[in-house]
Structure 1
Amino acid sequence: MKQIILLMSLCISTLHIVTAQPQFKTQAQHTCADSRLLGTTRMAVATQQHMQLMNMYDVTFYGLDLALERNSAYITGSVTTHATVKSSPLSVFAFELHPSFTIESVTINGAQQSNLTRNGSDVSVNLSTIVAAKSKVVAVINYSGNAPNGGNAAIGNGFNTARVSRWGNDVTWSLSEPYAAYEWWPTKQVLTDKADSVHVAVTTSAENKVGSNGLLTNTLNLPNGKVRYEWESRYPIDYYLISVAVSDYDEYVQFANPAGAAKPVPVVNYIYKGSLDTYKNQIDFTPPLIEHFSELFTLYPFAAEKYGHSMAPIGGGMEHQTMTTQSTFTFTLTAHELAHQWFGDNVTCASWQDIWLNEGFASYAEYLGLQHYSADAAQSWMTDAHNRARSATQGSLRVPDTTNVGRIFNYSLTYKKGAAVVHMLRYEINNDALFFKALQNYQIKFGSGTASTADLQRVMEQTTGKKLGYFFKQWYEGEGYPVFNVAWNQRDRKMVLVSEQATTGKTPFFRTDITYQVQTTSGTETFRVRQTKPTQQFVFTVDGEVLGVTMDPENWILKEVNQIVKNSNLPVPDFAPIVSPNPVSGNFATITDLNFTPTTVVIFDRIGRKMGTQTIVQQENIQLQVSTLPAGLYFVQFSDGQQTRQVKFVKL
């Protein structure tokens, strides 16, 4: 969403650039997290009855024509809304506008209207002429007044002005997420009703620049020391992503060259006057991040227009479509807000209950961006994300009360647990090519529109062939995380491991794959198993004496490990699977001595990637098809849903 959270992101993982190579450092600044939710708890604006009236029409276009200054919250101008009436005739045109504004006139399809009713922010216009179903509506609303100063947006006011003391700049800006667009323009705050396009024109003093959505199509010098900036975007856009920022900015333009773009994508940065030397090195990461994310998620969604930044003192960032608003530039903040152009702007959550689809994926993009430059920095980021997610044992990713802004943008749940769940989904799929292909399919299928968590699940299942209902049930709807106690013992080459799982929240059990790293006198061996019940036994064949066991060494799973201990009293089975021949040089390997009847077999390579599955059709000697496997070391896992055994073999 807004990137208020961004702020948080930026505080938690800050990129300090002191040379040509990025230097990464993790910080913990709770004041940054606090700034994400300035002001009082915010409630949704429109009443249910008024929402029903607004949903009588679909918006196709917004045109904002405003007069603004960099040191004032006073707004005067007009907003033109084009819409299509739905299936019933339209007798009332409804919209939202804060009562601090005076409505000077309303014109519907060229006819001035006189019968207006205002109930707080709910405005109803009883039309002099009813508009037929499926017909077009053009509403022009002229208004003026001072924007309210109630701190009701996610990180402050919907429209604000302030002085940046460090640079001596006055700045005026908007920030509408989630319910504050009505604090600066007449609007319909419904997520699922995106406008097909938007024009934003702002008249201001000649020394100012105005940043907004899309392309700057015209700059007109006007009498009396005024200038008019005209921005146009032809991409679908949600109400809260329309923005303005006004100041005596310096302009710094870059270009990104993502694969598949018809031309370079301009990156237009409006930054505080005199600040370029301070921020340039950090801003310069934007084009390569656009190129990297385009490879991972699909081409930058607004490549025919631009990307960019307008600076404002918001204590973080807000992903306004094609021109993010940021208070500063750090690697993770910039990565987070940029990723929102895919997750939040191109595909917007259909309800604030699914805000994790915006914020969780944008937060995970911080990790992906760091991973592109430094594995250590990425791992540090994920460790911090898990720590913060574990601090929220109550509450799910699903937001049950979408009238509560504090709950919508809960930092530990929506941002950090959201990112952790995306990371676990990647691990669960266990195939990066399929994982990122699924993300691309999600962008393609729902781009320019909205989506729910159920939509994401369906795309993931269709792309990967995996059933993921259990995953989303426990991690999206569920609460808490698993806590493990592990005991192991060894006799000869046979090792037994017993994992006991408890939980911290209301979810009684988390079904999950787990990777165990076993250190022996002969080296390190890795086993990936699936825990399907609270207490489960696994049997491995190992070389050498076991020296220690590590659970989830690459930190994929949101969890807590109480202890991993050797228990010399733990019985070690007298049997273990045998592979013959081993090494395998032909097309088949035979498995004997399982001593139980497995139903499935899964083959993993030496780093835990799933290479294939087979359904068991014979109950004694099992024939494994290995002809398609390249040469290397493999692990075979057998399970009947209750017991699990694992054995390794070498393919020549």
Structure 2
Amino acid sequence: MSLRAKLTLGTATAASLLLLAGTATAAEPGAPGIGDPYYPNAGNGGYDVSHYDIRLNYQPTSDNLSGTTTIVARTTQDLSRFNLDFLLKVSSIRVNNRVASFTQSGGELVVDPKQSLRKGSDVTIVVTYSDVPSSHAVDGYTAWKRTADGALAIDEPDIAQWWYPSNNHPTDKATFDVSVAVPDGVEVISNGLFNGTAKQINGWTRWRWRSLKPQATYLTYVAIGQFEVRQSTAPNGQPVVNAYSLNLGENELPAKASVERTPEVTEFLEQSFGPYPFEAQGGVVAPGIGFALENQTRSTYDPAFFRRGANTYVVAHEVAHQWFGDSVSVQRWRDIWLNEGFASYAEFLWSEHVGEGTAQENAEYIYDLYPADSAFWQVLPGDPGAADLFHGAVYDRGALAVHALRVAVGDEAFFTILKRWTQQKKYGNGTVEEFIALSESVSGQQLDELFQTWLFTPGKPAAAPGAATFATQAVVAEPKAFQKIRETHVLLDSHVH
């Protein structure tokens, strides 16, 4: 090599070193929250997750959960350190195969890798941990639900940090592999496709599940305990997995009479919402929840929903969430109407379908149910506030807002709006404002006044959607469906989610 070449190489090397040094200096910590006004510490900044591999062991008698979560992510900035949302006791973390230092406080797991991470780089994070989830609380609340024969990792808006580290916000969806080893004779149910069990030499069995489509962290769950697991095939060829706790008592058969109809309900809702967006179907019925939740591909129900017989309305509500909430998720939690208003309206559609009351009859009944001076009318579905995220008004007044849109634009435009929304936003996120803009675009109407009245204005509107003025309205008889719908919305002082 010539002297000139050596000098040129030396100059280039020095420049490269200066560039790397400059990059390292520019690296900054990722934000400890994703920027959601309702939950400032939810999620984290600086990276996007593409996949979680959650491999755990769980002992029901002691509530001890141990194992490893591997996170595959990509950086969105130069990172000197980053946060994960997690409560359990961590023993080690590796970032790109190198041991990383870390600290934990208040549900924030702060990871300090050995080297700064360049923007746009692939990152593999391996977190090993062991702890008792039920021993942890946030603001006095424990989302992990220990049961007589196991546990349920089920809740909204927050459950992930009680059992796996994550970027815990709906705007960072990922695919998932979940496998949990438990003592022989215990069952484990989770999302997506059932990938079988594997016997282990220590008298334990590992249950394996895989979610192939983007999934929000709070919609990822496990139900562990004594279950009857039923596998079948839906008319569209998809696998159906339903599971029923062995502790349902007299609610067992009504629960089965409801949840076993999930493929039928799904097939019906496809007519209004478009093709079902996921790879599997099913449901789980387990005591100790107090609500129903739309875990992706496999909603979970408290058995009390079936205490008066079969209840397909709650199934319609949760299946509707597979489009509104799961496939199309909130951009920020203030957009919750996009989840609950439309899932509640799905109950109206189901009521029409089974001949137990039209959507108009149900809308008028709900409108008349709450007097003008009720606090119900002071909660705004379009921006309810964190304290009222699951208030009855988000559901019931939210459904009235959906019906008001249907009345205003007509059925053809209305169902076009729903299908276009679920297709354009599929596996992504949306805002109330984006939905309003789409509604105006499809209908060709200016709808500000309608949405302002039903979503953003306190007080009871002058009339039910599609009805005469309040002063001339007749008393509306309770539709046949509404007893079941009301039970769906009011259970153990809680709401379906």
Q: Which TM-score bucket, shorter chain as reference?
A: 0.7 to 0.9
Match of 1:97 among 64, 86, 103: 86
**Residue 281 of structure 2 corresponds to which residue in structure 1?**
306
2-structure distance, mates of 1:95, 1:180? 14
**Residue 376 of structure 1 corresponds to which residue in structure 2?**
357
Match of 2:246 among 260, 273, 278: 273
Using the TM superposition, give the Cα deviation of residue 465 of structure 1 relative to its aligned residue in structure 2, in angstroms: 1.6
| % same residue | 28
Name the amino acid aligned to 1:397.
P
Deviation readout 1:360-415 (Å, 9 max, x if unpaired)? 1111111211221123386675455335555312131133533x3xx11112x111
Q: Is 1:319 aligned to residue 294 of structure 2?
A: yes
The question of whether the paired residues in 2 share the 8 Å contact of 1:389 and 1:416 is answered with: no
Q: Is 1:62 aligned to residue 48 of structure 2?
A: no
The question of whether the paired residues in 1 share the 8 Å contact of 2:173 and 2:216 is answered with: yes
**Residue 145 of structure 1 corresponds to which residue in structure 2?**
131
1-structure distance, mates of 2:361, 2:138? 34
Match of 2:383 among 372, 383, 399: 399
Change (3 A) 1:282 1:401: closer
**Residue 162 of structure 2 corresponds to which residue in structure 1?**
183
Change (3 A) 1:80 1:200: same
Name the amino acid aligned to 2:126.
V
Using the TM superposition, give the Cα deviation of residue 152 of structure 1 relative to its aligned residue in structure 2, in angstroms: 5.7
Higher relative contact order (CA 8 A, sep 6+): 2
Name the amino acid aligned to 1:315.
G
Change (3 A) 1:367 1:414: same
Identify which range, 443-452 or 69-78, moves more after superposition.
69-78
Change (3 A) 1:432 1:255: farther
TM-score by length of structure 2 reads 0.80
Matched length:
433
The question of whether the paired residues in 1 share the 8 Å contact of 2:184 and 2:204 is answered with: yes
Match of 2:93 among 86, 95, 106: 106
The question of whether the paired residues in 2 share the 8 Å contact of 1:254 and 1:287 is answered with: no
**Residue 119 of structure 1 corresponds to which residue in structure 2?**
105
The question of whether the paired residues in 2 share the 8 Å contact of 1:153 and 1:179 is answered with: no
Which structure's residues are more often helix, by fraction? 2
Give secondary structure in 2 for the equivalent of 1:461: helix
Name the amino acid aligned to 1:76.
S
1-structure distance, mates of 2:113, 2:370? 51
The question of whether the paired residues in 2 share the 8 Å contact of 1:174 and 1:245 is answered with: yes
Superposition pairs of residues 207-606 of structure 1, within 5 angstroms: 207-257=185-235, 263-273=236-246, 277-302=253-278, 304-328=279-303, 329=306, 330-376=311-357, 381-387=362-368, 390=371, 391=374, 392-399=376-383, 401-402=385-386, 404=387, 407-411=388-392, 413-429=393-409, 431-483=410-462, 516=468
1-structure distance, mates of 2:462, 2:456? 18
Using the TM superposition, give the Cα deviation of residue 172 of structure 1 relative to its aligned residue in structure 2, in angstroms: 1.1
User: Any stretches of 5+ residues in structure 2 without a counterpart?
Assistant: 1-31, 480-497
Name the amino acid aligned to 1:420.
L
Change (3 A) 1:128 1:340: same
The question of whether the paired residues in 1 share the 8 Å contact of 2:134 and 2:146 is answered with: no
The question of whether the paired residues in 2 share the 8 Å contact of 1:53 and 1:92 is answered with: no
2-structure distance, mates of 1:432, 1:47? 38
Change (3 A) 1:69 1:387: farther
2-structure distance, mates of 1:153, 1:280? 36
The question of whether the paired residues in 2 share the 8 Å contact of 1:383 and 1:555 is answered with: no
**Residue 198 of structure 1 corresponds to which residue in structure 2?**
176
Identify which range, 65-74 or 433-442, moves more after superposition.
65-74
TM-score by length of structure 1 reads 0.62
Using the TM superposition, give the Cα deviation of residue 59 of structure 1 relative to its aligned residue in structure 2, in angstroms: 1.0
User: Any stretches of 5+ residues in structure 1 without a counterpart?
Assistant: 1-44, 164-169, 258-262, 485-511, 517-530, 536-548, 557-652
Q: Is 1:161 aligned to residue 146 of structure 2?
A: yes
The question of whether the paired residues in 2 share the 8 Å contact of 1:300 and 1:342 is answered with: yes
The question of whether the paired residues in 1 share the 8 Å contact of 2:348 and 2:359 is answered with: yes
Change (3 A) 1:152 1:138: same
2-structure distance, mates of 1:205, 1:143? 19
Change (3 A) 1:380 1:255: farther
**Residue 134 of structure 1 corresponds to which residue in structure 2?**
120
The question of whether the paired residues in 1 share the 8 Å contact of 2:400 and 2:454 is answered with: no
Q: Alignment RMSD, CA only?
A: 3.0
**Residue 14 of structure 2 corresponds to which residue in structure 1?**
none
2-structure distance, mates of 1:311, 1:471? 40
The question of whether the paired residues in 1 share the 8 Å contact of 2:63 and 2:146 is answered with: yes
The question of whether the paired residues in 1 share the 8 Å contact of 2:283 and 2:298 is answered with: yes
2-structure distance, mates of 1:386, 1:448? 33
Name the amino acid aligned to 1:306.
Q
